[in-house]
Amino acid sequence: MLERVKDNVMSDRLVGLTPFNIYRKQLAGIEENKIAASFKDTRSHLVPERVTDFVYNTEKRHSFQWSSVHACVPELKQQGILLLYHEPSSQTDVPEADKLVTLCVSNHTALQSARRNQHVLGIDGKHGLQDDGACLTTCVTQHRDGFGCPTAFSIINRENTDSILLTLKAIIENVPCDSAKCTHDFTYLGIPDQRGYRRKTICAAPNPYKPLVMIDKHEPSANACQRLGLQYVLCWFHIVKAMMEKLKALNLSLVQSYQVILGFKIVARSSHHETAVALWELFIQVAKYL
Ligand SMILES: [Zn+2]
């Protein structure tokens, strides 16, 4: 579902439209001769079930009645695996950042692995995996041998710049030093107005963890990295997926699309301009025979 479509559904919901009326409204905006073509694009024009599911999950996620999440906080804190628990303010007239629910967990082994393999941290959010409809953000360190190691998991009610920033900050404040002699002590600090806790590892600050963050094409992730002074790159899977969608819209065949993607990969993955030019010229010669 496209972000602008989600925004439209949310704003229609705010003015009191039912899921069925939201669906009728999107039908009303399409000229009759374009209906058949438009409805092939189900990301822009949602089928009624999709509108209903989205409304149900979104409202559940924003209701803050996260019984299962609230209940496990004391135990997670006692075990020391809670990095952050951020509850929303009870006031209504507060900035968006104060309306967030964020619960971030990790453990010492995972955080230490992030320190030892600290070059790349991949982050990605997924909705619909949790009973309360929350977004589960997974943070994975790319091990120097190439495979991925979990670094932290975050459950958040709104996937936006502020919540992603809270998750990244919770990790940065807790990736310990690399000394075998250090006990990596940590402490819990209260969030003002008794709105939760954040864990702080004492030896994290002197040598801050500064990974290259791999993100999807979700703009808030890039904004969060910028605000924390972290460099970021787009992940290949999402770049190629976005390109395939564009090529599909241009009515290119699958074979033609793969040729374009192959050429793009050869050029974009080259580490130097000269290499990219040389490989591109080779590719053009070979492409005739593909
Ligand atoms: Zn330490």
Nearest C-alpha neighbor of 61 from the set 166, 163, 139, 131: 131
Q: Is 26 exposed, middle or buried (0-12, 13-18, 19+ CB in 10 A)?
A: buried
**How far does the centroid of ligand 1 lie from the alpha carbon of residue 136, in Å?**
28
Between CA 169 and CA 83 the distance in angstroms is 10
Q: In which band, very low, low, confident or very high, does the pLDDT at 131 lie, cut at 50, 70 and 90?
A: low
Domain identity same for 112 and 183: yes
Find the mean pLDDT for residues 53-59. Answer: 74
Token digits for 95? 């900035």
Domain identity same for 224 and 81: yes
Residues 181-200 have pLDDT tens digits of: 999 999 999 998 888 999 99
**How far does the centroid of ligand 1 lie from the alpha carbon of residue 180, in Å?**
8
Average the pLDDT over each of 2-11, 150-159, 195-204, 266-275 and give the range with the smallest value: 2-11
Q: Which range in 25-29, 67-71, 99-103, 241-245 is most confidently predicted, on average pLDDT?
A: 99-103
Greater model confidence, 231 or 271: 231
**How far does the centroid of ligand 1 lie from the alpha carbon of residue 173, in Å?**
12
- Which long-range contacts does 192-197 make (Cβ < 8 Å, 24+ apart)? 193/89, 193/90, 195/86, 195/87, 195/88, 195/89, 196/73, 196/84, 196/85, 196/86, 196/87, 197/77, 197/82, 197/84, 197/85
Q: In which band, very low, low, confident or very high, does the pLDDT at 170 lie, cut at 50, 70 and 90?
A: very high
Domain identity same for 89 and 227: yes
pLDDT score for 19: 78
Domain identity same for 107 and 190: yes
Residue 75 has pLDDT above 90, yes or no: yes
Strands (E), the chain: 82-86, 102-105, 120-127, 135-142, 148-156, 186-190, 196-201, 212-215, 232-234
**How far does the centroid of ligand 1 lie from the alpha carbon of residue 187, in Å?**
13
Between CA 155 and CA 138 the distance in angstroms is 9
**How far does the centroid of ligand 1 lie from the alpha carbon of residue 270, in Å?**
38
pLDDT score for 176: 95
Greater model confidence, 108 or 11: 108
| Phi, psi dihedrals of residue 264, rounded to the nearest 5° | -60, -45
Q: What is the mean pLDDT of the chain?
A: 84
Domain identity same for 50 and 81: no
Domain identity same for 195 and 94: yes
pLDDT score for 127: 72
pLDDT score for 101: 86
Greater model confidence, 65 or 71: 71
Q: In which band, very low, low, confident or very high, does the pLDDT at 119 lie, cut at 50, 70 and 90?
A: confident
Range of the domain at 201: 67-234
Q: In which band, very low, low, confident or very high, does the pLDDT at 272 lie, cut at 50, 70 and 90?
A: confident
For residue 21, CA distances in Å to 8, 29, 50, 143, 248 come to 13, 13, 13, 49, 31
Average the pLDDT over each of 14-18, 123-127, 247-251 and give the range with the smallest value: 14-18
pLDDT score for 132: 62
pLDDT score for 175: 95
Its pTM stands at 0.70
Domain identity same for 55 and 177: no
Half-sphere CA count of 80, side-chain side, radius 13 A: 12
**How far does the centroid of ligand 1 lie from the alpha carbon of residue 70, in Å?**
30
Q: Considering its fold, how many domains does the chain have in total?
A: 3
Token digits for 133? 């409809």
Domain identity same for 203 and 74: yes
Residue 64 has pLDDT above 80, yes or no: no
Domain identity same for 135 and 27: no
**How far does the centroid of ligand 1 lie from the alpha carbon of residue 207, in Å?**
10
Find the mean pLDDT for residues 108-128. Answer: 86
Domain identity same for 95 and 218: yes
Find the mean pLDDT for residues 262-270. Answer: 81
Domain identity same for 71 and 201: yes
Domain identity same for 241 and 118: no
Spell out which residues have Cβ within 5 A of ligand 1, the ion.
176-177, 182, 184, 203
Q: Answer whether 217's CB lies under 8 Å from 238's CB.
A: yes
**How far does the centroid of ligand 1 lie from the alpha carbon of residue 197, in Å?**
21
Token digits for 143? 């091990």
Find the mean pLDDT for residues 97-103. Answer: 84
Residue 111 has pLDDT above 60, yes or no: yes
Half-sphere CA count of 88, side-chain side, radius 13 A: 19
**How far does the centroid of ligand 1 lie from the alpha carbon of residue 185, in Å?**
7
pLDDT score for 103: 93
**How far does the centroid of ligand 1 lie from the alpha carbon of residue 166, in Å?**
22
